[in-house]
Amino acid sequence: MATARTWPCTRGMRALAMGAVLLLAACAGPGSRVGTAPGPRIDPAQRTEVVMTALSLLQSDYRYGSARPARGFDCSGLVKYVFGVAADAALPHNTAQIARLSRPIARDQLRPGDFVFFDTLGRSNSHMGIYMGDGRFINAPSTGGRVRIDSLDNPYYRRHFESARTLFVD
């Protein structure tokens, strides 16, 4: 039976490895998070335009994989389209990637145009919407649905709420 060969680790090797880890962490820069890509930085003056653009799409059909008004939207497609039109921001068509590009904020700090993320499929950041104020968000909910306004106080969304995030530089 073969056995795994182990190499002795000296104190010097451990110190060298720790130094390399610290050096790599320092390369991330102040205030950045390792593993988080910097997203677009959007002027807060565009918050109203983002919300108004999203509101103009109410009643659009839900369509998985789509980010076009003529065909419909899924949740990240709605966000991608709205931020592209209203803020000239190129976002990916993927909730987890948008979450990585945005920075977390406290739920009680949500402002119009910020993102709300939910765990609706048993995985992190599987659904998202655009916060519009007063505890409400614009949402492309699911197959067979239409873009609509929902409440964060709705028991379903309250139970599945995961995080609040933003791209605005307030």
What are the residue numbers of the active site? 75, 127, 139
Compute and round to an integer the Cα radius of gyration of the chain: 20
Report yes or no: 142 and 61 within 8 Å, Cβ to Cβ. Answer: no
**Token code pair at residue 109:** 């700090």
* Helix (H/G/I), strand (E/B), else coil: 54: helix
Q: Would strands 115-118 and 103-105 be described as parallel, antiparallel, or unpaired?
A: unpaired
Taking the C-alpha atoms of residue 100 and residue 19, their distance in angstroms, rounded to an integer, is: 27
- Strand spans (E) along the chain: 67-68, 72-73, 103-105, 115-118, 127-133, 136-139, 148-151, 161-166
Q: What does the block give as tokens for 101?
A: 């590009």
CB of 147 closer than 8 Å to CB of 68: no
What single letter denotes the amino acid at residue 45?
A: A
